[in-house]
Structures are given as structure tokens and as C-alpha cells.
Structure 1
Amino acid sequence: MESILNNRPALAAEVEKAAEVAGYLWQKGWAERNGGNITLNITEFVDDEIRNMPAISNVLSIGTCLPYLKGCYFYCKGTQKRMRDLARRPMENGAVIRILDDCASYVIIADQPVMPTSELPSHLSVHNYLIEHGSPYKASLHTHPIELIAMSHHPRFLKDDVAGTLLWSMIPETKAFCPRGLGIIPYELPGSVKLADATISKLADYDVVMWEKHGVFAVDTDIMSAFDQVDVLNKSALIYVAAKNMGFEPEGMTETQMKEMTEAFNLPK
């Protein structure tokens, strides 16, 4: 069967980036079994031939109306699919979907009728928010970085900006490459409307949010950039854990040093 990616190098490149990131997530131990999700807004790569492609699924309900997604197309990791498999065969472990004109339903159009992640309504709600606010972000990532999740088990790090400021202070690159820090969302049932609403609320101030005792959710211009933000934050968490394992509380960069860097690199204050 011919793939939707054939003769579409720009679209293929985006899906290949998703496959590459999926491999990194598995290698890092951040994507056990079918854990984690990737969703890409690929509308800009859609041509007339794709728009005319027939559905290969029944009409499926999103469960909510998302008016800014009318006519949009997304590549989504499949439900119960493993990241390690998506890394090798992205179109067998993911699917392209079309949002219908009612903005409350969708159909699968390629390559196979792989049902999207069960958390699709949450991911699509975030993309609806991003489009509504004119964001250039097209990719969303949910994954389970070990050290960041471990930090979320301590009440100290569940207060606003405590964990984010600490992580910034571990190594200068963290603030340079994740300048909006880490938002914290108290525990909510995975996949719930409450969790989706809380995530959207936090995205006004953060590009990466921690779901307490669960994982992180990140958005960026593409999936590699979203992964990079999580990777940088978890590197700082690893440095913090390494220092604690050596028997001391790491000093971290001072407020003066972080302010100096913020000004030198013209980062958000």
C-alpha cells in the first residue's frame, strides 16, 4: 500500500522526526510499554490530493467541540502502540487524521486505520488553544522522564516555580533552552478533562508542564524542539540527583548569575 509520505518530503521529514524522538524516549527509559504520546499538526504540509483522500475509518467523536481545528490534519501516535515500534515503523504505529467541519469529530485517512491515542481529546484541545492564540507551535509531546517524575513526589517541588528555578540553576543551558521554565499541575486522573484544562491554563506561562507523579507535557515548533526542552530539564534533574547522591545539596547558580545570563541572552524574565 502506498504511504501518504511518498513524494512528500516535507511531511515525511516531520514524521521521521517523530520516529527519531520516539527512539530517544525509549532509549532513555521514558516510554515504557505504550507510555507517552506524540501529536503533530501537519496541516501546512497537506495538498489537494490529501484533502481528497477518503476516510478509512468511521466518523469518530473527539468528545468536545474545538472550533479552531476545523479542516486541520494531525499525525498521532496510536493507542496501545509502543514508542520503540513507532521509532521503526511510524505509519504502522500512528495515523493521519482529518478534523471534520463540525469541529467535534474526525476520520482517519492514512496509512492504516490505527486508532489515535486515548488522550487525543487532551492533545487536540491543546492544539486548539495554540491556534486560537496565534502560537507557532505545531507539536505536543507527553513522556515519562524518570528524575523529573521523582522530584514531583516531594511536596517541596509542587509549589509554583520552585522546581523550575532549581533546575535553571543547575546548569546555564537549562534556562537558555527552556526559558519559560517548568509549570506544575497537581495530580489529576490521566486523560481527564480536568487534566487537559489545567494543562491549557499552564501553557499561558510555560512550554513544559509537569503532571504530578505522572510525567511531562511539552509543546514547541516541532517535535524535536519539544523533546529538547524536556531533555534539558531532565539533565538538570540528573545533576541535582547526582549531587544529592554525593551527599550534599548542590549550590546552584545564584540569582545574580541567572539574572546576568537572562539579560545577556535576552531571555524571558
Structure 2
Amino acid sequence: MTQEKFINSTYVQQMCKITRGLYDHGWDERNGGNVSYRLTEDEISQYADTDKVLRNVPIAFDASELAGQYFLVTATGRYFKNVIDNPERDTGLVQIAKDGHSVDIRWGYNDGAQPTSEFPSHLMTHINRLHVDSNQRVVMHCHPTNLIAMSFTLPLDEKTFSRILWKMQAESVVVFPEGLGVIPYMTPGTNDIGEATAEKMKNFRAVMWPHHGVFGAGDSMDETFGLIETIEKAALIYTTIQAQGGVCLQEITDDDLADLAKNFGLTPNPKFLTGKSLVENK
């Protein structure tokens, strides 16, 4: 692979732009957060010698269902603010090996790094999202401040979170009509949290990790970033309302949500469409 040529590829440049955006938003402090981007052989063939393996590293998950697939992945322990300056060090292109328990590094990680410790969780999500939509190719994990704060003060159930976030702005139900998936608090970096997240990803494109962050999936870097950005904007509006006293005198109603969805040709999750009003003293 011609290193300089791949650094300038659309895919690496997108990774640099998105990781910097995540850092600038304050969602990926220090070495927090990780991103994986599934690429096809046709997309990388102009840059890669597909027979050349720099090294092989084990992964703690049987990813044989994805054997042969390529992923551009952020490295473990790296700061997102630095990716834009050192993409060949802080990201890498890997191919899932035939055994499913290791990856062949094709490019990057040039100081001996490895894929993010959350890579097994990413792969589990990629598998389940591919079953839902074969165009899904990006998985993104970050730490949106206001959404995390809500996980300390609200019941950890999907209906509560989805309805509040939908009612905070008209865009929410349009961007994530299925709502927000929620899992219990679990230890990050384990296969257990990956399995729980991937199970939710059968029905949701975004899953909240209480007291920690969010996992999002989408067709592109921009779409996945925009999904998380919309969720966090709704959480910020909710947080601002609470800071102003928490009393809502008016709201986006369930009828309004239904009209929004109808106008955009969408079907909101029927489990979440009706429930308690946010307006007090109505």
C-alpha cells in the first residue's frame, strides 16, 4: 500500500474530520471515543496491496461472520484531537482474518498500536446492523455531556428517554423515529456490553450507555455524526429547561409528533408515541 496515497484518501480524510469534530464538541475528552468505518475491497483497491499484511493481532471476539471485511478504525488509547495530524499513527485499516479471532493490519498503527479496545463491540454492532440494512457502515462511540447527565436523573427506560428527546425539538422524531435504545450500566470495554448494545442495535441506530456515552450507527460518517448531534441537541434543550426551573407551559404534543412523521413519510416507534405529557399545570 502506498502510505501517502491512502492518507489522502476520502476515507481517511473523513475519519480525520469526524474525530476532530467529536473532540471539538467536547464529546471525546482525552482518549475517549472510537470510530469504525467499513470499507469495500473496491474502495481500497486503488490504494492497497490486498496481499500485503503488516502484522496480525488478535481480537477478543469471534468475528468470522465478517471475515474478509475491511475496517478503518481508530487506535486504542489515542486522543481524537491528534488524529487529524497523525492519521497513520492513530488509525489503521484492518481486515478481519479468516479465523475470525484476529485482524490483519493493512495500513496505519505505525507505532505498533492496535484497534480500539471497543472494537469487539463495534463488530457486534456492525453484524447486527448489516442484517437490518446492508448500507450501514459506520459505528461511532462518544460521550455527549447532556445525554450522559440525563442518565443520572431519569428512569433508564427507552420510552422515557425517547419521548423526552422527541419532544425537545421537531427534528428529533424525524432523525431517529425508532427512538433511543437504552441498556443498563455495564463495564465498558467488555464483550458483555458489546453484546447488549448489539442486541439493541437490531431495533435502534443509537444506544445509550448510562453514565458513559452513546453508540451510534449509520450509512456514512456525516449521517452517524448527525444522529448523535441531534440526540445531544435535544438533551441540551432538556437540560436548559431543567436549569430554568423545569416547568413546561407548552410542548410538542403526540399529535404534533404524528403530524411531523406523516409529513416526512416516517413511522415513529408505536411503543413510544403515547404517554405522559411534559406540560405541568396544563
- With normalisation by structure 1, the TM-score equals 0.91
Q: Percent same amino acid among aligned pairs? A: 29
Q: 1:88 aligns with which of 85, 88, 94?
A: 85
Question: What amino acid is the match of 1:35?
Answer: G
Q: 1:162 aligns with which of 160, 172, 189?
A: 160
Report the CA distance between 1:68 and its aligned residue: 2.4
Q: Which residue of 2 aligns with 1:268?
A: 267
Q: Which residue of 2 aligns with 1:33?
A: 30
Question: What amino acid is the match of 1:195?
Answer: I
Report the CA distance between 1:84 and its aligned residue: 0.3
Q: Which residue of 2 aligns with 1:3?
A: 3
Question: What amino acid is the match of 1:148?
Answer: L
Is 1:153 aligned to residue 128 of structure 2?
Answer: no
Question: Aligned partners of 2:11, 2:174: CA distance in 1, in Å?
Answer: 25
Question: Aligned partners of 2:103, 2:166: CA distance in 1, in Å?
Answer: 40
Q: Which residue of 2 aligns with 1:244?
A: 242
Question: Aligned partners of 2:265, 2:116: CA distance in 1, in Å?
Answer: 38
Question: Aligned partners of 2:5, 2:159: CA distance in 1, in Å?
Answer: 41
Is 1:24 aligned to residue 21 of structure 2?
Answer: yes
Bigger shift: 163-172 or 126-135?
126-135
Report the CA distance between 1:160 and its aligned residue: 2.2
Q: 2:219 aligns with which of 218, 221, 236?
A: 221
Question: What amino acid is the match of 2:244?
Answer: M
Q: 1:43 aligns with which of 36, 40, 43?
A: 40
Question: Aligned partners of 1:138, 1:108: CA distance in 2, in Å?
Answer: 19
Map 1:58-207 → 2, pairs under 5 A: 59-111=56-108, 112=110, 113-156=112-155, 158-207=156-205
CA contact (8 A) 1:38 1:76 kept: yes
Bigger shift: 37-46 or 163-172?
37-46
Residue ranges of structure 1 left out of the alignment (5+ in a row)? none
- The alignment partner of 1:88 has SS state of coil
Q: 1:198 to 1:5 in 2, by over 3 A?
A: farther
CA contact (8 A) 2:138 2:219 kept: yes
- The alignment partner of 2:124 has SS state of helix
Q: 1:198 to 1:255 in 2, by over 3 A?
A: same
Report the CA distance between 1:51 and its aligned residue: 4.9
Q: 1:125 to 1:92 in 2, by over 3 A?
A: same
When the two structures are aligned, how many residues end up with a matched partner? Answer: 264
What root-mean-square deviation, in Å, do the aligned CA atoms of Structure 1 and Structure 2 show?
Answer: 2.0
